[in-house]
């Protein structure tokens, strides 16, 4: 049986697209993208899910963090989800939630962890910080998620060169093209295969 994957998104969804394309091309043979969940009703990622024919749910952000996590848990359980992939999901999940999914949540982060990660480092801010520090190499990391933001075990990493003329936007794009969109589908297959063999 294939590992049922839920992809959690908040924005543009280019990493979701990389996963959908990889699945369509047979590069995630042990997994099936069964559900997309967004915490943002305006996320373009929802349109991508629709175009790929994948069911999507929007989680209302009203209420407490515990309430948000309980609603998320219910949606995932109802759908028989085995593996969660955070693909540009901009809300932190607490240990109360992550403890229910040990080794079953992956996140893609746009730096070489432990550089430029943790609370406050997300999206373009990561690349702004890398440029401000003047690093010559950055990259992306796919890691398992635990109660420490960006602190779980690292699964895959890939380095990307920083160029002298880079802006946060050009660097973000290069890190996506040369690292994130390649690593995330590979990591999805690795984790999906492991869970499928375990089942």
Where does this chain touch ligand GAR (CB under 6 A) — which range of 8-16, 23-31, 52-60, 70-78? 8-16
Q: Is 67 helix (H, G, I), strand (E, B) or coil?
A: helix
Selection from 28, 37, 36 nearest residue 2 by Cα: 28
CB 86 within 8 A of CB 11: no
Selection from 110, 185, 114, 102 nearest residue 144 by Cα: 102
CB 137 within 8 A of CB 158: no
Where does this chain touch ligand GAR (CB under 6 A) — which range of 27-35, 59-67, 96-104, 121-129? 121-129
Nearest residue to ligand GAR, by Cβ distance, number only: 88
Q: Which of 126, 129, 160, 162 binds ligand GAR (CB under 6 A)?
A: 126
Name the residue nearer to ligand GAR (CB basis): 13 or 185.
13
Phi, psi values for residue 60, rounded to 5°? -65, 135
Is the sign of the CA dihedral 94, 96, 97, 100 positive or negative?
positive
Q: Is 20 in the site for ligand GAR (CB under 6 A)?
A: no
Q: Is 31 in the site for ligand GAR (CB under 6 A)?
A: no
127 in catalytic set: no
Q: Is 139 in the site for ligand GAR (CB under 6 A)?
A: no
Q: How far is the CB of 145 from ligand GAR (least distance, A)?
A: 10
Q: Which of 4, 104, 109, 174 binds ligand GAR (CB under 6 A)?
A: 109
Q: Which of residues 161-190 bind ligand GAR (CB under 6 A)?
A: 176, 180
Q: Is 13 in the site for ligand GAR (CB under 6 A)?
A: yes
CB 74 within 8 A of CB 111: no
CA dist 193 → 2, 3, 103, 188 (Å): 8, 7, 13, 8
Query: Catalytic one among 30, 109, 127, 143?
Result: 109
Q: How far is the CB of 88 from ligand GAR (least distance, A)?
A: 3
Residue 186 CB neighbour total at 10 angstroms = 16
d(CA 118, CA 190): 24
Q: How far is the CB of 166 from ligand GAR (least distance, A)?
A: 15
Q: Which residues participate in catalysis according to the annotation?
A: 109
Sites of contact with ligand GAR (CB under 6 A)? 11-15, 45, 87-88, 108-110, 122-123, 126, 176, 180
């Amino acid at each position: 049986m294939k590992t049922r994957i839920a992809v959690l998104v908040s924005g543009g969804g280019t990493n979701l697209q990389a996963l959908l394309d990889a699945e369509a091309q047979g590069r995630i043979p042990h997994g099936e993208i069964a559900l997309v969940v967004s915490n943002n009703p305006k996320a373009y990622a929802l349109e991508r899910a629709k175009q790929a024919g994948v069911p999507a749910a929007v989680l209302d952000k009203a209420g407490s963090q515990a309430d948000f996590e309980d609603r998320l848990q219910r949606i995932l359980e109802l759908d028989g989800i085995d593996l969660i992939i955070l693909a540009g999901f901009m809300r932190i999940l607490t240990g109360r939630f992550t403890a229910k999914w040990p080794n079953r949540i992956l996140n893609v982060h746009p730096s070489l962890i432990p550089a430029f990660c943790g609370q406050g480092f997300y999206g373009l801010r990561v690349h702004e910080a890398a440029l401000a520090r003047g690093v010559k190499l950055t990259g992306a990391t796919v890691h398992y998620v635990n109660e420490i933001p960006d602190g779980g075990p690292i699964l895959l990493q890939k380095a990307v060169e920083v160029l002298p003329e880079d802006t946060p936007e050009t660097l973000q794009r290069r890190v996506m093209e040369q690292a994130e969109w390649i690593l995330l589908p590979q990591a999805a297959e690795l984790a999906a295969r492991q869970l499928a063999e375990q089942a």
